[in-house]
Structure 1
Amino acid sequence: MSKAKTTRTPDSAPDNTHLLEGYPGPAFLVARDSSILAVNERGVEMAPMLMRERSTDVVGMVKAAAVTKVIVAQSVELTLGDNKLQLEVTVIPSVGSDSFLVLVRDVTLEQNLRPALIESRQRYRDLVDISSDFAWEVGPEGEFVFVSAKNALGYATEEIIGRHPHDLVIDAAAYRPLPFISDQPVDDVELWMRRPDNSLACVAVSSRPLFDDVGLWLGARGVCRDITREREREAALMRARHREQILHYIIRAIRNEVEPQNMLTAAAAAASRALAAAGCRVFRATSSGKFQVAAEFADIGENCLFETELEKIEQTDGVFEREIGPWRALGATTNYRTTINGGVCIWKAKSLGEWAEDERLLITDVADQLGIAIEQINNHERIVRLSRTDALTGLLNRRAFYEDEMPRRLQRLARGTGKAALFYVDLDNFKQVNDEFGHNRGDEALIAARDLLLEHSRPGDLIARIGGDEFVMWLDGISTDLARNRAADLIAASAKLAQYSEGLETSLGLSTGIAIYDPKLSESLDELLARADVAMYSVKRDGKGGFEIALPPAEK
């Protein structure tokens, strides 16, 4: 630093001029009347401006120092054109002299920087608060010495200060190093911490180590960001995707099957495998509201009556979890357009614990898809039934009898020696009933004829309406004598049909032709029907209201 140059006034004391040497800022001596006695080089220009007209703040400070005999310090603002200087002025009374030493320090830069520094610090704090949940610092002892938030992870500040991070971090020994006491910078290390209520929080930690001048570790400081909700959302999304994958797997299993009944069997197997269950049952609801097993994977016997629980399902939210025998079952009803049409149930060993929430959600999703599949099966069966049955009587129609049922029956009989009988039944005088009384009376007569045939047949026999007033009845395992007796009973019972032709000259009745099927003769269905038809028309020619058994093919 260069030596300060000192300017003396004529009245200045030479022995006081050394006071101004070496001062880095403006310095000058003034008399009691504020006249300048001496000034250093840096104060040559400033001293007159501060003392001008003897009425500035500095003049007042000199007067105060003269009266109080103590040092007076004050901030003074000096205007220079468009600029303003901020000065720290100190007036020191000289001991044994009637002069005063005035020292000036320009603090304009400091004053201008202070708001910027304050703003910068606040900006930094705001950014820290926004970017993290709390900032922290750990001291040399490895204990928290500072926490920025008043409620970090639910803790009050005093509950964390003085504690070691190991007390809060789950499985802290697994982290090498633990971010809170790391001697290396770490960024976004995820770890689990314990909240005051013992719940867990997933926290992303970033930290920087602190060292002294010789490299000794003094601690670390950093920030923590609570990402528990993010991880929970990610976990929930992953579980949802997993459920979706399982559901798609089950749906594919259903769609890959052509036969409707196989759809439910495939769904039961797929659901059991996908949910790691011991087995699965799919039920269909009957018109009476009961549940019947429609498909099953892994049979567990008749003692586990899951259907009983399904019938109680309305008492729950649509999903039930029960201990049934040695199993823990999870089931749900299937619906289509808010109507229960079945159910699904899976089971596992009790030792495997309760079903998880994801599995409860998934069984509901599976039930929704099965509800659609069951409805499709119901519709398919309804269409098949309509295509196979006569709309008025509910009996098999001509196509179902000729194309579906009879070929199977004949093929089965061809492998054995048992006989069967084909009854070809025609209503006598039915046209007159229709013409005289109308089609409603005719329909009633047809239904009455159907009832007669049902009364004189067995559960395994086939009955079909193949024309307007023509019926056929197939009886398996029946001999010629039994067929004759059955026909005689049928003709006798047909007398009750006369009530539908009351008032007419001719009565409503039955004419029946019977052909006995013998597998040894290798007779075709057309040939069999032709023989029965010939026998029936023979009865018609002989006066109607009777039956005739056609001769075997070899005896014609």
Structure 2
Amino acid sequence: MAEKVDLEPAEEAKSAALLKSKDDAEILLAGYPGAALLITRDCSVERANAKGEGLEALIVHGAIPEIRDLVNKSEGVHTVTATTVTLPSAKGEIILDLTVVPVESGRFLVLARDQTMEKNLRSALVESRQRYKDLVEISSDFCWETSVDGEFQFVSPKGAIGYTADELVNAKAETFIVNPENFTPLPFASRRPLDEVEIWFSHKNGSQACMMLSCVPLYSEAGGTESWCGTRGVCRDVTIERENETALTRARNREQILSYIVSMIRDELEPENMLSAAATASTRALEVAGCRIYRLAGLESFGTAAEYGNTADTGDLNDNLDDLGSNGEVKQFRTGNWTYFVVATHYRNVINGAIGIWISEVSDTRADDLKILLGDIANQLGIANEQIANHERIVALSRTDGMTGLLNRRAFFEEELPRRLSRLARSRETAALFYVDMDNFKKVNDVHGHQAGDDAILFLRDLLMDFSRPGDVIARLGGDEFAMWLDGISPEVTQNRAGALITASQAMAQYSGDPAYPLGISVGVAVYDPKDEESFDGMLARADEAMYAVKKAGKGGFMMAPAPKAD
């Protein structure tokens, strides 16, 4: 849109005189910093300075019709007129501010000012400001500016840490920081640039948020002196990253603890020591008050296999084992002074034991870690319990008689008796060895078959068990030959026990193969007295000789072996 400015008669006369005073208007035009031309009413160019030559060509070719409109308006109302035109070029649009000044009748001064760069810079600045404004508004980062008092003067439109922008503005920054006393000065009032400073904030919902803060100080100039007037910065929320890092660290820590406990278990060569090592390692590695490991005895009840630590007043743990599931879920409960964690161990989805730990105080985070670790340990112990059970089955098969379940000859003579004789050497108590051999047993098998023979053997087994105590030992030495060891028994009681045994054995006659040859037993008894310092083989020989003496005397009786001869 063209603008017009009225000229006073004196100004018009002055302009006309200036042009008339020179034959050539070139000096006047050359003094203008932009394009300047002197044209006539019909837009013919009379004179042009160096910068106006390009514009002259455009005018000649009618490429700027706006100039003719300006000339007509200027002549008609005798005023200065102006407008802005946009011209195409090979490098883009050119923007010119055109001004037409009437200088004398029929002649006009055209002044052009190139506004292309200024407009482009202005547009770039507006675009840049809008870009940064949009980025701040859509960014998840928390942008802010504080005053010298540490109060928020500007915050991102979205607000931060659960608060709206209105709630944060004019509020002191330190009121939202966890332990602001740890910072001197507070980063929100920093007078020097800071980069990636970690700060924990109190979220509106009561939780905590971790942010990385970067800032620069703001200064104002007054009277030639710069003074600090606040701080401007941005906070990036890294709470999720910190939580992930913490979770990863906890997982690595749990992995190291589990590796240590498993290695302690595997380092034990003896299966019966595995669980003791596991209880000790678990207590120490988990940093708890104590640990107890159970095995499921006969698929009926849990029995303590190993424990370590402070076991006082922990009976409540034993009372909370019945409802454990095989899904690996850790049970947590508190009674008395302890918080307990207990989980079942299993092998192939079958419960074979349990592990429990207890601790006086525990946080929620630590409780979660303990549950995860205890579940992992239980998986290992489930395998260990199965290995121990398999080992016990193998040992039992190697030590016991398959039919009767009694100790076999090797276990009785090579393991059990030497251990008991060693114990008697310390206690100085007496004991008795019964050598028992069945009479006329072959007749039973020949007449009634082997099943009847097996029934007769089992009957004798039960008879011997009735005449023994829980601490005594009975063995089947092979075929129809048995042995019974009675600990801590006097010679008199031994003789009475032998007589009663013979009397009770008369019931075996029901299995006889021939009434003329009744089934019975012959017993040789050797009393062992540590003070005699009798050898192991010597005692066996005495009992064996006494038993065969009974056989020779007609069977169905017992004989007390003579005391050992002094060397």
| TM-score, normalization by structure 2 | 0.82
State the partner residue of 1:390: 401
Superposed counterparts of 1:250-269, under 5 Å: 250-269=261-280
Shift of 1:127: 8.3
State the partner residue of 1:322: 333
State the partner residue of 1:224: 235
State the partner residue of 2:322: 311
State the partner residue of 1:189: 197
Q: In the aligned structure 1, how far is the partner of 2:354 from the partner of 2:447?
A: 53
Moved more, 504-513 or 459-468: 504-513
Tell me the secondary structure at the aligned position of residue 167 of structure 1: helix
Which residue, 485, 505, 508 being the options, matches 2:519?
508
Tell me the secondary structure at the aligned position of residue 319 of structure 2: helix
Question: What letter is aligned with 1:334?
Answer: T
State the partner residue of 1:3: none
Question: What letter is aligned with 1:169?
Answer: I
TM-superposition CA deviations, 1:9-67 (whole Å, max 9, x none): xxx95535687464321122433322234433321342232342477343345446556
1:444 aligns with 2:455: yes
Which residue, 445, 448, 458 being the options, matches 1:434?
445
1:30 aligns with 2:39: yes
Aligned length: 542
Shift of 1:465: 0.8
TM-superposition CA deviations, 1:308-351 (whole Å, max 9, x none): 0222444997333333334333333333333333333333446x
RMSD, aligned α-carbons:
3.7
TM-superposition CA deviations, 1:347-397 (whole Å, max 9, x none): 3446x7886433343333444444444333333333322222112111011
* Alpha-carbon distance change, 35 to 390 in structure 1, aligned in 2, over 3 angstroms: same
State the partner residue of 2:68: 59
Which residue, 473, 489, 497 being the options, matches 2:500?
489
Shift of 1:305: 3.0
* Alpha-carbon distance change, 301 to 205 in structure 1, aligned in 2, over 3 angstroms: closer
* Alpha-carbon distance change, 425 to 32 in structure 1, aligned in 2, over 3 angstroms: same
Superposed counterparts of 1:267-282, under 5 Å: 267-282=278-293
Q: In the aligned structure 1, how far is the partner of 2:117 from the partner of 2:192?
A: 38
Q: In the aligned structure 1, how far is the partner of 2:30 from the partner of 2:515?
A: 155
Moved more, 354-363 or 451-460: 354-363
Q: In the aligned structure 2, how far is the partner of 1:84 from the partner of 1:59?
A: 24
Question: What letter is aligned with 1:426?
Answer: D
1:39 aligns with 2:48: yes
TM-superposition CA deviations, 1:511-549 (whole Å, max 9, x none): 222223233433222222222222323333344333333
Question: What letter is aligned with 2:178?
Answer: I
Moved more, 227-236 or 194-203: 194-203
* Alpha-carbon distance change, 527 to 133 in structure 1, aligned in 2, over 3 angstroms: same
Shift of 1:306: 1.6
1:158 aligns with 2:166: yes
Is the 8 Å Cα contact of residues 51 and 58 (structure 1) preserved in structure 2? no
TM-superposition CA deviations, 1:411-431 (whole Å, max 9, x none): 233346543222111223333
State the partner residue of 2:412: 401
TM-superposition CA deviations, 1:292-319 (whole Å, max 9, x none): 3333334554673320022244499733
Q: In the aligned structure 2, how far is the partner of 1:430 from the partner of 1:63?
A: 151
Segments of structure 2 that go 5 or more residues without pairing to the other structure are 1-14, 20-24
Q: In the aligned structure 2, how far is the partner of 1:554 from the partner of 1:425?
A: 23
Q: In the aligned structure 2, how far is the partner of 1:277 from the partner of 1:54?
A: 93
* Alpha-carbon distance change, 51 to 281 in structure 1, aligned in 2, over 3 angstroms: same
Shift of 1:406: 0.7
Tell me the secondary structure at the aligned position of residue 216 of structure 1: strand
* Alpha-carbon distance change, 159 to 481 in structure 1, aligned in 2, over 3 angstroms: closer
Shift of 1:151: 4.5
Is the 8 Å Cα contact of residues 180 and 186 (structure 2) preserved in structure 1? yes
Is the 8 Å Cα contact of residues 32 and 100 (structure 1) preserved in structure 2? yes
Which residue, 217, 228, 234 being the options, matches 2:245?
234
Question: What letter is aligned with 1:211?
Answer: Y
Tell me the secondary structure at the aligned position of residue 506 of structure 2: helix
State the partner residue of 2:22: none
Is the 8 Å Cα contact of residues 65 and 72 (structure 1) preserved in structure 2? no
* Alpha-carbon distance change, 73 to 142 in structure 1, aligned in 2, over 3 angstroms: farther
Shift of 1:200: 1.6
Tell me the secondary structure at the aligned position of residue 406 of structure 2: coil
Question: What letter is aligned with 1:478?
Answer: I
* Alpha-carbon distance change, 23 to 374 in structure 1, aligned in 2, over 3 angstroms: same
Which residue, 18, 24, 42 being the options, matches 1:15?
18
Q: In the aligned structure 2, how far is the partner of 1:276 from the partner of 1:511?
A: 62
* Alpha-carbon distance change, 371 to 212 in structure 1, aligned in 2, over 3 angstroms: same
1:87 aligns with 2:100: no
Question: What letter is aligned with 2:18?
Answer: D
Q: In the aligned structure 2, how far is the partner of 1:290 from the partner of 1:400?
A: 28
Is the 8 Å Cα contact of residues 526 and 561 (structure 2) preserved in structure 1? yes
State the partner residue of 2:214: 206
Q: In the aligned structure 2, how far is the partner of 1:298 from the partner of 1:85?
A: 88
TM-superposition CA deviations, 1:137-179 (whole Å, max 9, x none): 3355544344345253443333333333223322334322333
Tell me the secondary structure at the aligned position of residue 395 of structure 1: coil
TM-superposition CA deviations, 1:98-156 (whole Å, max 9, x none): 55443323344456667777777788779889997243333555443443452534433
Question: What letter is aligned with 1:73?
Answer: T
State the partner residue of 1:174: 182
Tell me the secondary structure at the aligned position of residue 363 of structure 1: helix
* Alpha-carbon distance change, 303 to 227 in structure 1, aligned in 2, over 3 angstroms: closer
Q: In the aligned structure 2, how far is the partner of 1:222 from the partner of 1:55?
A: 51
Superposed counterparts of 1:93-112, under 5 Å: 94=102, 99-109=107-117
Is the 8 Å Cα contact of residues 319 and 330 (structure 1) preserved in structure 2? yes
Moved more, 338-347 or 405-414: 338-347
Question: What letter is aligned with 1:464?
Answer: A
* Alpha-carbon distance change, 35 to 271 in structure 1, aligned in 2, over 3 angstroms: same
Question: What letter is aligned with 1:221?
Answer: R
* Alpha-carbon distance change, 538 to 148 in structure 1, aligned in 2, over 3 angstroms: same
TM-superposition CA deviations, 1:249-268 (whole Å, max 9, x none): 44444445455444434443
* Alpha-carbon distance change, 302 to 122 in structure 1, aligned in 2, over 3 angstroms: closer
Moved more, 379-388 or 90-99: 90-99
Tell me the secondary structure at the aligned position of residue 310 of structure 1: coil
Is the 8 Å Cα contact of residues 103 and 109 (structure 2) preserved in structure 1? no
Which residue, 509, 517, 535 being the options, matches 1:524?
535
1:74 aligns with 2:77: no
* Alpha-carbon distance change, 37 to 296 in structure 1, aligned in 2, over 3 angstroms: same
